[in-house]
Structure 1
Amino acid sequence: MIKHIVSVLLIFVISAKCSAQFLLTYDKPASKFTTEQRQDYNKPGYMQEALPLGNGRLGAMFSGGIEEEHIMLNDITLWMNSKRGLSEVEQSGTRVGAYKNFQKVREAYRNDKYGTSEGSMEALSTKYLSSHQPLGNYAPFTDLYVFTGHDSTVVSDYTRTLNARTGIGTVSYSINDTHFKREYFCSHPNDVFAARYTAQNSKMNLKIKVGTLHKKNSVKFQGNTIVLTGKVSMVQDDIEFQQLVHIDAGNAKLIPQEDGSVLVEDATDVKIYLTAYTDYLPVYPSFKGRDFQLDSQNMLNKALNIGYNNLKKSHEQDVSELMDRCQLKLNFEPSELTTDELVKRGPSLELENLYFNYSRYLQISSSRTAPVPSNLQGLWNGNLKPAWNSDYHTDINLAMNYWMVETANLPESFRPYIEYMKMVAESGKFVAQESFGIGKGWSMGLNGNVFGFTAPNTHGRRMQQSGAWLCQNLFEHYAFNKDKKYLEEIYPILKGAAEFYMAFLAPWKDGSLLVYPTWSPENAYLTDKYGKLNKQAYGASFEQQLALNLFTDCIEAATVLKRDESFVKQLQNIIPKLTPQKIGQYGQLQEWPEDWDSPTDQHRHISHLIALHPGRDFSPLITKEITEAALVTMKHRGDISTGWSTAWKANFWARLHNGDKAHQFYQFLTSERAYPNLFDFHPPFQIDGNFGGTASVCEMLLQSHLRSIDNSSNSIENAAFVAYKKDTKQSNHFVPVVPDENLANASYILHLLPALPSAWSTGTIKGLRARGGFEVDIIWEKGKLVEAKIHANTSGDFRVYLEGKLSKLFSINNGETVVWKNE
């Protein structure tokens, strides 16, 4: 009997820990989504408290309201206030013929025309190069309301939950001896939102209503289905959409109302099926053509034939398979606090563990097989004028959204990014031609939308070439999967980006090649003299680093695919001519080629450390002087940051092998920069902080970005490829290195527990991915590695680095596992 009790207690503890790792729970509904909140995204409430569901295209948030349940719906393709269907050239957003004045703009850069006055770099960039085309914004879709008639003052045992492992949201409560329950999910296998309302010991009377913020709409009820059709305002060619809400209430009565709503009387079990589509297709330049009405009806018919229980079962299997691949388990005792109270309590291992798993859930919910990637808010937006348009910012945010798909084992989520990049490359070739007079390759500016906008931003101070940054993610995906078929798919995009940069680079006063116009996002320099908007510059260090990264990736890709020898030679010739990275007067890594840095500058962007992370060219193991300069820069920038900046700093510190400092930022992110529903608090909400935070956890536990080009060496300094070497003439300059011919076949170095925080003295991580095509499970106790299992998803080689020692080369076949123990 005693043994039985012990076993039951053990099962309870394990179950509680499992719930604490995946379950968001609340003892009250979310706030109502007021008109004021929908008009002003800075007003807190529904968006910070309601719980998100999604299948990568169709998204939902539910409030759990007792009298009124408000379910907000989104479609990732729905934008407004922009244009589509223009000519191929115009659809890119470029100013036709702008290239005729390009050299006039460049002359201002060569003559150091700072500031914002007439004739300055910014003024001329705005006048001659910046787009006049409206970018538009991501739009809310529809709203589903379910009115219960229940009195919240007599409710007991209220619970609202979201299980991040299964993707099921629930609401339950009791009134006297009647128990009411709701459950919600967005199915990816069957592309449908589904809900179920049940009552035990009584019956329900519900009112179901749909609506939208878009004025052009109509609602009708036919065949147990509420049909909502509408148009969304565009500057050119309004977008059409349709939503079907089918109600299956068994033998209960359905009574349609004049406003399109439906009364459900005397029901004990009500199932709701919702399908919806827009007319958007990712076809440049029309971006139109989907038969949204037929697709809505066909998907609804399919869902009804499958039935609710089978829909739910396939959904849970789909989500849990992805969620179970990678699991973090820190050593903590569950608090049994609700999630909002857990956040209020402050930093804890329980919150850090939950945040990691929840962010992976948000990833699969907002990016799966949709034609466009997740945006600044992922998938969820309820405002007609969202923050920063809820668009695609290419000065970190879009890239950060996809950092963790590789390391945290969700590579399927990357497909929308790949498809988007194909569209960007197609559109961007017209920008290259018309904005800059470059007939090869493609260009991308600072902001993007779902209609192929790739032109320079409307503000001249925001001039940026983003192709190299965006391509970094593309090649990283190959580094993790080693799939040559995929490399063939993306190679034209990589090559096109490199061809543009090769033509765009120009010699500077010292003869080196640099990028201009550009800026260092979103920072200013010489502000005492020229003001806080003096941002436009030349040769910003981050972009010089990215150009080297891109050229190196192209050389490797061409070598692997055995093509383009002359193109490779051109890249090899141009790399040594790139402007070097420099250490400035304060010992800092310079943000610009001129020594303009200020030690009191605490700007949230630290773009000039991009070669530290997510790049791979700065490392405390092989570029020690540059690393010391990076540490000075980190000290200057300080600790307090916005959400995404906090996440990036956590990654920086992990790459600097300072686990406690990385953990400090992750702690701050999970408590001080988290809303009650754990959405990232930028402020306001931006989802990149969630994704960047989880990426930082992976970096603390495993790093695999360094390559061994000398497998006979036991010293990592001698074995690893080094991308920058000290200039023999100027000791504070570090010049780019042409990659060794062996780099394309070089094995990756798996650095185990490179930045383990002391607060995480004991734990496990399952299913981390490493470059080279490997998965790694790690167990550690008392701050030391116990065991690592390295599993090959493709045949290849690797070396292990642990506690200052570099292992021999391991060769492993697909499906095999190497067990590494710290003995």
Structure 2
Amino acid sequence: MLAATADAQHVLFYDAPVLPGAKTIAGKGEKDFIQRALPLGNGRLGAMFSGGIDRELIATNEITLWANANRGLDEVTQSGTRLGAGAHLETVRQAYRDGKYGTKKGSMEQMADQYLISPQKLGNYSTFTEVQISTGHDPKNVTDYRRELDLKTAIGKVSYDIGEASYTREYFCSYPHDAMVMRLTAHNATLDLTISTSTRHQTKSLKADGSTSTLIGEVKLANDKSYFSQHIHVEADGGKVTATNGGSLQVSGAKAVNLYLAGYTDYLPVYPTFKGRDYEQDGLATLDRIKQAGYQAVKTAHIADYQSQEQRMSLQLDYEPSGLTTDQLVKRGGSVELENLYFNFGRYLQLGCSRSAPVPSNLQGLWNPHTKPQWNSDYHFDINLAMNYWLPDPANLPDCFSPYVDYMKVIARSGAHTARETYGVNKGWTAGVNGNVYGLTAPINDGRRVQQSGAWLSQNLFDHYAFNQDREYLEEIYPIIKGAAEFYVEFLAPWKDGTLVVYPTWSPENFYLPQIGGKLNKQCYGAAWDQQLVLNLFTDCIEASEKLEIDSEFRDQLKAMIPKLCPQKIGQHGQLQEWPEDWDIPTNTHRHISHLIALHPGRDISPLTTPAMVDAALVTMKHRGDESTGWSTAWKTCFWARLHNGDKSHQFYRYLTSKRAYPNLFDFHPPFQIDGNFGGPAGVCEMLLQSHLRSIDNGASDISDAVFVAYQSDPQSPNHFVPISPPKALATAPYILHLLPALPSAWPNGNVSGLRARGGLEVDIQWQSGNLVAATIRATENTTFRVYAQGKLSEVYSLAKGQHKTLTW
């Protein structure tokens, strides 16, 4: 029997506040706050609350508030590109061809830095405001304290008693009403509060009038200023609200108090100006709508809206609830209870920081109490942004993907200028490693980071289509995918053996030949991840053009180029090579294993299709070891699931949830990075269901005969695997649903409902004693598919939209 309760699965709870006695979050308190405070968000507006007794401290965030960067430059300059740099590309490439390693003058890195790097500033994501609610309560007199976050309703709560009096608070960020809402109540007592607000940016004005306070802030940019507003309206039941000269609001003698917070910046996602929102009027209009609706109606709408998303999927693992507070649960070490909770928390965070926002979630999602956070809390295009969006499709949160799509339209427009000016490529677009909300696509000031990220960014776009099978969406994204492919068609260049490689590039963060160039020797050519993703991109573009019946000449051009790409290689240690040369070091335990991207999130390396490449990938995984940072642990969870090793995948997921989680379950990189919170739950989905393989021979009963294989061993060099152009049949090939491909022995009993599979499908799965019991497959579009379970491949099934099929074992 499944013993888990709703509370154990869906509630984070604690018996103490964050920063007890602190007067502000700023300074030393920031570190503890980000690790312990509980997050709320509606996709655009976010908050974290401390649950303080004498003083509630709330950090708010607005996802577009970005400091110290440029905006509003001309169309070309806004991209950050170094004008005319493309004229020097061959000068830079010659250093690569000559093997000029290291970082000294004349080296690959120094030449790239000299000729290609952008002089523009990236800037950084920043905090919005801090709200304080002073209660006058003495923590020494408090009993029965509880602070919690309910993942089923997206409502935070604080409750405690003082003598015969009981006090409660509720907090949520409403998506329908686009605001943060708070309610404080007292039983056998009344409330006397002071509500104040501040910002660590320049305060242009702060005033209180009647029951509303208004803060207008000013943010320093590299070439401009941006502006924002925050409005707080207070309603007191049975009490009085008074405005002060300092901009605070005081409440006296109230039985209950409602607070409505609206905040906006002047940002609009329009390249290259990125401004124009009437932030102050939008804030006032939001408050007016809430005041007319009233607290109860706003709360009811919030819960209904949130649950319409959250209830699309559920995971039920078998465990006995411990009754421990969440921080104690983490401290105790790994458990199935914590793993189930962490999964649900990941889905909660996805809804909280990526629903119809003007920009996608960043390195910290939405939540940040710092004016300048670690790594700028920016957009890293070499895994982190992509990992933030691995979860929405399999975990049935597809609405959360729209900010990524909108952002990619901006990046493609900006990246066309970077392609032309930085690299002399006249078609398509490209992007470097780091991005911001103002469309920067040029490589920035670090020569070890010259790379092309268009293929990586485009992978998520087409995979979203694979899940939804929406032709209108495919028409929307096709120009972006085609533009990325057009860039590589012109940018790829022959290497010494005549094969086509990407360069300049690097294999993210890792080094090679340290005896020659030191551990900063990173700039390279033909990195395996580049080559794998270019194949993935070209194949996606070919299929999209087939589906849309357009661009046949370009499609044929891509098909002709694919076999010319540098092959994937198995090196002297039996490893999958990270570079075209056999440079891998078995003792190198670097966390970034980018050259396994064809294993995950790609689809071209699989135990079912490429056993020799899988054996090499296993050697690579052994070399890299088990110690990892947060996001790397999450990715290894996915790798091992794709390798069909459930226990090894679970080992990393357990490590992530217990050793790489802060008390509030934020991912411990360190410090906080949200990608682990998304990548880990994505790995859980991979353990239970995989759907990335396609059947191009529907008459074959053996899966190895049925599936399209993208790499073929070279007869002249058996350890080289040459890319294969996709056949026309791939565009209509059914996806194969692999049920329980990597079920851990630690999860012998359980069920999952609402998992999404490629091909326009939703899947429910039940298992007992480690064995598959039943699966129900529902079609969200007219579709065909095959099922692979317990070593057997089914016939092709056809379902019309709305139909379902149930299978039992």
Compute the TM-score of the two structures, normalised by the length of structure 1. Answer: 0.97
| Deviations 1:322-343 (CA, angstroms, capped at 9, x unpaired) | 1111111100111111000000
Letter of the 1:621 counterpart: L
| Deviations 1:307-334 (CA, angstroms, capped at 9, x unpaired) | 1101101111111221111111100111
Instruction: Name the SS for the 2:393 alignment partner.
Output: helix
Residue 721 (structure 2) aligned to one of 726, 734, 755 = 734
Q: What is the deviation of 1:141?
A: 0.3
Letter of the 2:154 counterpart: G
Taking the TM superposition and a 5 Å limit, the aligned residue runs for 1:546-557 are: 546-557=533-544
Equivalent in the alignment of 1:5? none
Equivalent in the alignment of 1:109? 96
| Deviations 1:88-146 (CA, angstroms, capped at 9, x unpaired) | 11000011111121111011011111000000000011111011100000010011110
Equivalent in the alignment of 1:204? 191
- Distance (whole Å) between structure 1 residues aligned to residue 449 and residue 165 of structure 2: 59
Instruction: Name the SS for the 1:359 alignment partner.
Output: helix
- Distance (whole Å) between structure 1 residues aligned to residue 20 and residue 684 of structure 2: 34
Taking the TM superposition and a 5 Å limit, the aligned residue runs for 1:667-678 are: 667-678=654-665
Structure 2: where are the runs of 5+ without partners? Answer: none
Q: What is the deviation of 1:261?
A: 1.1
Q: What is the deviation of 1:35?
A: 9.6
- Distance (whole Å) between structure 2 residues aligned to residue 33 and residue 531 of structure 1: 49
| Deviations 1:467-521 (CA, angstroms, capped at 9, x unpaired) | 0000000000000000000000000000000000010000000000000000001
Contact 1:253–1:266 (CA<8 Å) still a contact in 2?
Answer: yes
- Distance (whole Å) between structure 2 residues aligned to residue 725 and residue 386 of structure 1: 45
Taking the TM superposition and a 5 Å limit, the aligned residue runs for 1:94-493 are: 94-493=81-480
Q: Per the alignment, do residues 46 and 220 of structure 1 end up closer, same or farther by CA in structure 2, a change over 3 Å counting?
A: same
Taking the TM superposition and a 5 Å limit, the aligned residue runs for 1:552-563 are: 552-563=539-550
- Distance (whole Å) between structure 2 residues aligned to residue 208 and residue 805 of structure 1: 64
Equivalent in the alignment of 2:513? 526
- 1:46 and 2:33 correspond: yes
Contact 1:39–1:384 (CA<8 Å) still a contact in 2?
Answer: no
Instruction: Name the SS for the 1:88 alignment partner.
Output: coil
Instruction: Name the SS for the 2:685 alignment partner.
Output: helix
- Distance (whole Å) between structure 1 residues aligned to residue 508 and residue 318 of structure 2: 39
- Distance (whole Å) between structure 1 residues aligned to residue 607 and residue 741 of structure 2: 11
Contact 1:29–1:64 (CA<8 Å) still a contact in 2?
Answer: yes
- 1:583 and 2:570 correspond: yes
Equivalent in the alignment of 2:13? 25
Instruction: Name the SS for the 2:56 alignment partner.
Output: strand
Q: What is the deviation of 1:39?
A: 5.0
- Distance (whole Å) between structure 1 residues aligned to residue 505 and residue 23 of structure 2: 40
- Distance (whole Å) between structure 2 residues aligned to residue 562 and residue 628 of structure 1: 39
Taking the TM superposition and a 5 Å limit, the aligned residue runs for 1:647-662 are: 647-662=634-649
Instruction: Name the SS for the 1:296 alignment partner.
Output: helix
- Distance (whole Å) between structure 1 residues aligned to residue 704 and residue 28 of structure 2: 53
- Distance (whole Å) between structure 2 residues aligned to residue 246 and residue 307 of structure 1: 12
Q: Per the alignment, do residues 302 and 404 of structure 1 end up closer, same or farther by CA in structure 2, a change over 3 Å counting?
A: same
Letter of the 2:196 counterpart: K
- Distance (whole Å) between structure 2 residues aligned to residue 718 and residue 178 of structure 1: 71
Q: What is the deviation of 1:257?
A: 2.3
Equivalent in the alignment of 2:683? 696
| Deviations 1:742-769 (CA, angstroms, capped at 9, x unpaired) | 0000000000000000000000011100
Letter of the 2:416 counterpart: K
- Distance (whole Å) between structure 2 residues aligned to residue 71 and residue 40 of structure 1: 16
Equivalent in the alignment of 1:777? 764
- Distance (whole Å) between structure 1 residues aligned to residue 249 and residue 355 of structure 2: 33
Q: What is the deviation of 1:603?
A: 0.2
Contact 1:768–1:777 (CA<8 Å) still a contact in 2?
Answer: yes
| Deviations 1:356-406 (CA, angstroms, capped at 9, x unpaired) | 001000000000001100000000011111010000001100000000111
Q: What is the deviation of 1:663?
A: 0.1
Instruction: Name the SS for the 2:284 alignment partner.
Output: helix
- Distance (whole Å) between structure 1 residues aligned to residue 24 and residue 319 of structure 2: 41
Compute the TM-score of the two structures, normalised by the length of structure 2. Answer: 0.99
Equivalent in the alignment of 1:3? none
Equivalent in the alignment of 2:501? 514
Letter of the 1:300 counterpart: L
Residue 620 (structure 2) aligned to one of 603, 628, 633 = 633
- Distance (whole Å) between structure 2 residues aligned to residue 512 and residue 65 of structure 1: 63
Equivalent in the alignment of 1:6? none
Contact 1:84–1:451 (CA<8 Å) still a contact in 2?
Answer: yes
Contact 2:359–2:406 (CA<8 Å) still a contact in 1?
Answer: yes
Q: What is the deviation of 1:528?
A: 2.1
- Distance (whole Å) between structure 2 residues aligned to residue 484 and residue 207 of structure 1: 54
- Distance (whole Å) between structure 2 residues aligned to residue 731 and residue 194 of structure 1: 63
- Distance (whole Å) between structure 2 residues aligned to residue 239 and residue 32 of structure 1: 34
Q: What is the deviation of 1:627?
A: 0.3
- Distance (whole Å) between structure 2 residues aligned to residue 36 and residue 551 of structure 1: 52
Instruction: Name the SS for the 2:665 alignment partner.
Output: coil
Equivalent in the alignment of 2:492? 505
Q: What is the deviation of 1:304?
A: 0.8
Q: Any runs of at least 4 consecutive aligned residues in structure 1 with deviations exceeding 4 A, and if so which?
A: 32-41
Percent identity over the alignment is: 60
| Deviations 1:646-702 (CA, angstroms, capped at 9, x unpaired) | 000000000000000000000000000000000000000000000000000000000
Q: What is the deviation of 1:40?
A: 7.0
Letter of the 2:74 counterpart: S
Equivalent in the alignment of 2:481? 494
Q: Per the alignment, do residues 296 and 478 of structure 1 end up closer, same or farther by CA in structure 2, a change over 3 Å counting?
A: same
Letter of the 2:401 counterpart: F
Contact 2:346–2:681 (CA<8 Å) still a contact in 1?
Answer: yes
- Distance (whole Å) between structure 2 residues aligned to residue 269 and residue 393 of structure 1: 44
Contact 1:445–1:455 (CA<8 Å) still a contact in 2?
Answer: yes
Q: What is the deviation of 1:37?
A: 7.2
Contact 2:20–2:53 (CA<8 Å) still a contact in 1?
Answer: no
- Distance (whole Å) between structure 2 residues aligned to residue 306 and residue 370 of structure 1: 23
Contact 1:98–1:436 (CA<8 Å) still a contact in 2?
Answer: yes
Contact 2:478–2:544 (CA<8 Å) still a contact in 1?
Answer: yes
Stretch moving more, 51-60 or 800-809: 800-809
Equivalent in the alignment of 2:45? 58
Letter of the 2:12 counterpart: L
- Distance (whole Å) between structure 1 residues aligned to residue 283 and residue 21 of structure 2: 27
Instruction: Name the SS for the 1:498 alignment partner.
Output: helix
